Amino acid sequence: MAHNHFPIYLLLLLPKTTHIILNCIKLFLLFFVSFNCLGQDGLLPIDTRKQVYYSDLVNTDKTKDELYKIAQNWVTRKFGNYDIAVTFQDAAAGKLVINSYVPVKHSLYDHIRFDLTIICKDNNYQASIEKLDGIAQTRSPKRLGPSENDAIAEKSMAVKTETNRKKKQGSELLLQKQQADNDQVNAAMYKLLASLKEFISEQ
């Protein structure tokens, strides 16, 4: 009588495979929730200094020195040339400051330049992004800020108050375009923070 034998080695792989799958799911949910909570209305997150600001405080089981070394490795993998990307580093303080840029699907800009600060401590790290500049070959760099959100408010008001149907449709298209631009910036920044978190969790 024939017997079907389940490969024993597959059982050994299950815990590790399940752990990887669960980590991927958690990272996806974190990115999805963050993006939808802060970016679904087309607004950029503005702090008390009237600057665009993204931040992620993450608890881990790693020491400050371990996190600092991992963050350095991530910078090299993400941006290529470590010495060009990093503008400040202090191993004793566990602090890295990166100035670089990422591509973005935007009606005005090809890339977004930013400052990313990573501060490592025992059992946690904080990554924050600020000083965003829109960059394109055809225009001078522009610092992103409250004016991008003000444009949303102005266009929203135009949609609500416009009585001419054709003009109203035009206003709606302009509003959607502005919201889409801001959403693309948000998506690029949250993706960057998620990339760092995923890299650290895999080490």
Q: pLDDT tens digit string along 34-85?
A: 444 444 589 999 999 999 999 999 999 999 999 999 999 999 999 999 999 9
Distance from C-alpha of 72 to C-alpha of 49, rounded to nearest angstrom: 29
In the block, which residue shows the tokens 């080490």? Answer: 203
Q: Strands, DSSP E only, in the chain?
A: 54-59, 86-90, 95-103, 111-121, 124-136, 139-143
Lowest mean pLDDT among 74-83, 133-142, 164-173, 177-186: 164-173
All structural domains of the chain: 12-202 (3.30.530.80)
CA distance 58 to 79: 22
